[in-house]
Structure 1
Amino acid sequence: MPESPFGVARMLLRSSRAMGSITFNYHFAPAYTSLSSSPVHLFFPDKAAFTAAFANQAVDMDLTKVIGKAHDYVLSIGRPATLGEIIQELSDKYPRETKIIVDNVRKFGLRDEYMIPVYGPNKIEACICYGFDVPITDLPKPILNELEAISMMGHRRLVHYFNKRGQQTPLSRRESEVLHWMAQGKSSSVIATIMGISPATVDSYTRRLFGKFGVHDRIAAVLAGMAAGMVRLD
């Protein structure tokens, strides 16, 4: 099993492609949307055009919320679900947003998605989604079982990676404070006001956190801190 996050992503993408998947998404649980104005993706779909289609919708906060609701639903039921099942569950309450999702899915040749909930310590949860050009009900059961198995193994490896990096990374008091406020979804300017320092200084501490954790964005930094027990979402 690969060690790095991108190694995990490549493994999942390669394995799912071999089973006929044409897109792959790794969505962290809705709790993490406080860190971003768009749905939280650590990794992106196989089709660049499919990614771009949803990126164009990212400014629509209603769409962001309904995607979060879909992932929240899958995590709450504690079992894999199909995109069709999710659309049916949410369409009455969110007709416009679910129509946007369905239209984009159809535009790029997808018939269905297999959405798998995965769990880790300190509430590090995610939905790993595999898109197919056939209904999920047409796929053999062994393929679905294998997708579930590699998803659980990959997520555990990812959490282990962040945990290991966090445990090996002592933080200064100021870095810990910045990380805490990042986990609460505060912007750099708000953190600067809270801490009584300049936004440029906050950015400097943020870059140090990225370097220590070996990550490149706020979400991954918070995940690393959570995996190591350094921070939690209130």
Structure 2
Amino acid sequence: MQRYFGKIEGLQDIGDVLWYAVGVCEDLGVIRQSYHFTPLFEDPTSARTVVHAVGFDREWLKCYDESDFRRKDPIPARIMGHGSMMTWQEAMKLGPNTAENEEYFVAMKRFGLVHGFGVPLFGPRGRSAYASFDFGHPISEESEATLGTIRSVSQAAHQRVCVLLDEHEGTVDLSQREQEVLEWIVKGKSVSAIAGILELSPDTVKTYAKRIYAKLDTTDRVGAVVRALKLGLVNV
């Protein structure tokens, strides 16, 4: 376990931290996972929550990006309130459930999201996050050691993200066009979609994105979004 923690502590980029944690969990058999970084005083399904998801059906992710659909999901808030690991099925039964909750559960089943579990993550200065994992089968088939490693690595990764955010406090000066591109990045739009919206070429959008990442001291979209929200550079 110590080698995982040592590696995480040595990483200097938020994106690198998240992708390292993803790789560890995949090596342990996880087929899909997500990390929900929630701004202070908001819930883990708010529109401003940054979701880093891997292994989920693309159509499901498209649905989850829609704030109205995401708000129907009671599972993250219930698990955060519970304060410890819980399966999705257990969280569903913590009701009472609204008609919208039931609609969300039906959609989950349609996309094969049945056996997963959630883990609450806690960081300094009240920065909480939620993580979910799915082996594609009941967690009762996995060892306590495997589940413990996933929980520990996820917690360590979240704490490292929080530390990196604090280490890079300060102001960021963006041009008007960079600001526009950043706002669409935060909303989850692809390079081609942003190019169409702003009437720019995809290569031009890529150039702006690289400049934004450099100014935010990160190397990828997730890190940029997390920093942008923390610094108050965008409102969504």
**TM-score, normalised by the number of residues in structure 1:** 0.66
Give aligned-pair identity as a percent.
Answer: 15
Deviations 1:112-142 (A, max 9, x none): 1121110112332111111112101221111
1:139 equivalent in structure 2: 142
Give the 5 Å matches for 1:88-107.
88-90=93-95, 92-93=97-98, 94-104=101-111, 106=112
Corresponding pairs, count: 189
Q: Which amino acid aligns with 1:96?
A: E
Say if 2:55 is the partner of 1:52: no
Shift of 1:51: 4.1
Distance in 1, matches of 2:65 and 2:152, equals 34
Question: 2:36·2:44 contact (CA, 8 Å) conserved in 1?
Answer: no
Say if 2:50 is the partner of 1:40: yes
Shift of 1:53: 2.0
Distance in 2, matches of 1:171 and 1:53, equals 34
Q: Which amino acid aligns with 1:40?
A: V
Aligned-residue CA RMSD (Å): 3.5
Name stretches of at least 5 consecutive residues in structure 1 with no aligned partner: 173-177, 186-206
2:163 equivalent in structure 1: 160
1:225 equivalent in structure 2: 231
Identify if the C-alpha distance between structure 1 residues 163 and 51 changes in structure 2 by more than 3 Å, giving closer, same or farther. Answer: farther
Give the 5 Å matches for 1:8-157.
8-29=17-38, 30=43, 33-35=46-48, 40-41=50-51, 43-46=52-55, 50-58=56-64, 61-67=67-73, 69-90=74-95, 92-93=97-98, 94-104=101-111, 106=112, 111-157=114-160
Q: Which amino acid aligns with 1:55?
A: L
Distance in 1, matches of 2:215 and 2:22, equals 27
Deviations 1:186-222 (A, max 9, x none): xxxxxxxxxxxxxxxxxxxxx9986532254774134
Distance in 2, matches of 1:40 and 1:170, equals 21
Q: Which amino acid aligns with 2:109?
A: V
Deviations 1:13-41 (A, max 9, x none): 21111211111211123267243xxx631
Tell me which protein shows more helix as a share of its residues. Answer: 1
Distance in 1, matches of 2:212 and 2:19, equals 25
Distance in 1, matches of 2:156 and 2:87, equals 20
Q: Which amino acid aligns with 1:9?
A: L
Q: Which amino acid aligns with 1:142?
A: A
Identify if the C-alpha distance between structure 1 residues 222 and 33 changes in structure 2 by more than 3 Å, giving closer, same or farther. Answer: farther
1:196 equivalent in structure 2: none
Name stretches of at least 5 consecutive residues in structure 2 with no aligned partner: 1-7, 174-178, 187-208
Shift of 1:56: 3.2
